[in-house]
Amino acid sequence: MSTNIVVPLPLDFESVTKLPNSHAWTLVTTDSDPAATPDTVPVVDLLCPNAASLVRHACETCGYVQVTNHGVPSDLISQAELQTGRLFSLPTQQKLRTVRSPNGLTGYGLARISPFFSKRMWSEGFTIAAGSQAEHARQLWPHDDDDHDHRDSFCNVMEMYQRGMMRLAEKMAGLMLGSLGITAAHEDIKWVKPKNGCSNNPQGVLQLNSYPVCPDPTKAMGLAPHSDSSLLTILHQSNGIGGLQVKEEGIGWVPVHPVNGALVVFVGDLMHILSNGRFNNVLHRAVVNETHHRVSLAYFYGPPMDVKISPLIDNHDHPPLYRPVTWQEYLDFKATHFNEALELIKNDVKVM
Ligand SMILES: C=C1C[C@]23C[C@@]1(O)CC[C@H]2[C@@]12CCC[C@@](C)(C(=O)O1)[C@H]2[C@@H]3C(=O)O
Ligand SMILES: O=C(O)CCC(=O)C(=O)O
Ligand SMILES: [Fe+2]
């Protein structure tokens, strides 16, 4: 006997003129409170000689940093944003051909954290991993003629974008870990710089997010508060259209305005574990607006799926806070326990 699991689908946003009750959250403040502006916006030029210590400071305090001179061509980023906009502007029926299966990783659908909230989010997502763009593009554009061109340009751009992101992610991982005195020579993180032909490679997952224009942004939530499960996440957000916010201790939700040419790098849960709690896996969310369709491209970088991650800086004064975990195990905890996942892998603290 087969069980039919019903996957909740994103709304057909274009056909909606009034915020449905299913999507109405209790007041989401979208305006930035001037008092809630951080003292320093962490923007680091990666060509600057003291980039590593600036990155380290940002990771320890804010948990994110905006990087410039990152080496990813601006033209490639614009192309990827354009292709993302084009994908989400397809008719709903066409996007639904690639809908993510209940236990699947890739394809079109709601944010995975949706089941943890009683209200729906005002967004749709599309996940790409390990070359999945080719199969999805065939489903999205199945015909020859014009479809063929759309298919090719989508696949080429997404492939190049993932390659650029992987390169930058490796650079950022090296900088972050190096700033803590952990180098690639360390036995436990040899996979950060894999040798040619080595099969134990780091993994990348590309998540395309779309936040359609919303009739009542003060009551809608684009993407609910979460931290990322990755080691680090590289985010590009539409130029000039804000929406990303981070939670600052003692302040509240603070906007992260897009900086022209910069990419946002978040400390993920696995980096928080590796750094034995020193790097802040910052809580963040996305809010929506009434006039502009916003897209973002989030690249999640993590270790090879079967590699155990455990705190690398521990000493007598700071015993390891967490027990070893693979990315896959951690994603499974996250899928069942969401923001409590880290608690599940905490070592018992013995109170004397
Ligand atoms: C590698 C991954 C991180 C992610 C789960 C996923 O398997 C692919 C989508 C990612 C995403 C994007 C939106 C926020 C988030 C919490 C979610 O629901 O899906 C993240 C996941 C994560 O970091 O745990
Ligand atoms: O769209 C954004 O600004 C945030 C996206 C995000 O946090 C994510 O995809 O994990
Ligand atoms: Fe995120």
Instruction: Report the SS3 class of residue 347.
Output: coil
CA of residue 290 to ligand 1 center, whole Å: 26
- Assess contact for 321 and 277: CB atoms under 8 A: yes
**Residue 294 annotated to the active site:** yes
Q: What is the pTM of this model?
A: 0.94
Q: How confident is the model at residue 73 (pLDDT cuts 50, 70, 90)?
A: very high
pLDDT digits over 322-344, tens only? 999 999 999 999 999 998 999 99
Q: Which is more confidently placed, 221 or 249? A: 221
pLDDT on residue 300: 98
pLDDT digits over 222-270, tens only? 999 999 999 999 999 988 899 999 999 888 999 999 999 999 999 999 9
Query: Terminus-to-terminus CA distance in the chain, angstroms?
Result: 54
CA of residue 112 to ligand 1 center, whole Å: 6
Which-ligand-closest: CA of 203? Answer: 1
pLDDT on residue 148: 76
Average pLDDT over residues 50-79: 97
Q: Round the average pLDDT of the chain to a whole number and report it.
A: 90
Q: Which is more confidently placed, 328 or 198? A: 328
- Assess contact for 43 and 259: CB atoms under 8 A: yes
Domain ranges of the chain: 39-306
pLDDT above 80 (res 38)? no
The DSSP result for 157-200, as a single string, is HHHHHHHHHHHHHHHHHHHHHHTTT--TTSGGGGGGSPPTT-S-
**Residues 144, 142: Cα–Cα separation, whole Å:** 7
**Residues 78, 296: Cα–Cα separation, whole Å:** 11
Q: Does domain 39-306 have CATH number 1.20.1250.20?
A: no
pLDDT above 70 (res 351)? no
pLDDT above 50 (res 1)? no
Protein residues placing their CB within 5 Å of the ion ligand 3: 228
pLDDT on residue 4: 58
Burial of 233 (C-beta count, 10 Å sphere; 0-12/13-18/19+): buried
- 243: Cβ below 6 Å to ligand 2? yes
pLDDT above 60 (res 2)? no
Report ipTM (2 d.p.): 0.99
- 286: Cβ below 6 Å to ligand 2? yes
Q: Which is more confidently placed, 251 or 82? A: 82
Average pLDDT over residues 106-117: 95
The secondary structure of the chain in percent helix, strand, coil, rounded to multiples of 5, reads 35, 20, 45
pLDDT on residue 42: 92
pLDDT above 80 (res 31)? no
Q: Which residue has its alpha carbon closest to ligand 1 atom 20?
A: 228
Instruction: Report the SS3 class of residue 316.
Output: coil
**With pLDDT > 90 as the criterion, what percentage of the chain qualifies?**
75
The DSSP result for 26-89, as a single string, is S----SPPGGG--SS--EEETTSTTHHHHHHHHHHHTSEEEEES-SS-HHHHHHHHHHHHHHHT
Burial of 192 (C-beta count, 10 Å sphere; 0-12/13-18/19+): buried
pLDDT on residue 352: 47
CA of 283: how far to CAs of 242, 245, 323, in Å?
17, 9, 22
Q: How confident is the model at residue 193 (pLDDT cuts 50, 70, 90)?
A: confident
Amino acid identity, residue 11?
L
CA of residue 4 to ligand 2 center, whole Å: 30
CA of residue 116 to ligand 1 center, whole Å: 13
Q: Which is more confidently placed, 176 or 103? A: 176
pLDDT on residue 135: 94
> Cα–chain-centroid distance for residue 260?
19
- Of 86, 100, 294, 323, which one is the catalytic site residue? 294
Other C-beta atoms closer than 10 Å to the C-beta of 293 total 17
pLDDT above 80 (res 316)? no
- Assess contact for 296 and 233: CB atoms under 8 A: no
**Element (DSSP H or E) covering residue 350:** none
pLDDT digits over 176-192, tens only? 999 998 887 787 788 88
Atom of ligand 1 nearest to the CA of 114: 18
Q: How confident is the model at residue 196 (pLDDT cuts 50, 70, 90)?
A: confident
**Residues 245, 29: Cα–Cα separation, whole Å:** 11
Please report where in the chains the tokens 């997952």 appear, as a residue: 205
Q: How confident is the model at residue 36 (pLDDT cuts 50, 70, 90)?
A: low
**Residues 64, 77: Cα–Cα separation, whole Å:** 20
Which of 75-79, 164-168, 236-240 is predicted least confidently? 236-240
**Residue of 223, 227, 263, 265 to test ligand 2 pocket, by largest number of atoms within 8 Å of CB:** 223
pLDDT digits over 120-142, tens only? 999 999 999 989 999 999 999 98
Ligand 1 environment, Cβ below 6 A: 105, 111-113, 127, 205, 207, 226, 228-230, 300, 331, 334
**Residues 7, 333: Cα–Cα separation, whole Å:** 20
CA of residue 53 to ligand 2 center, whole Å: 26
pLDDT above 60 (res 35)? no
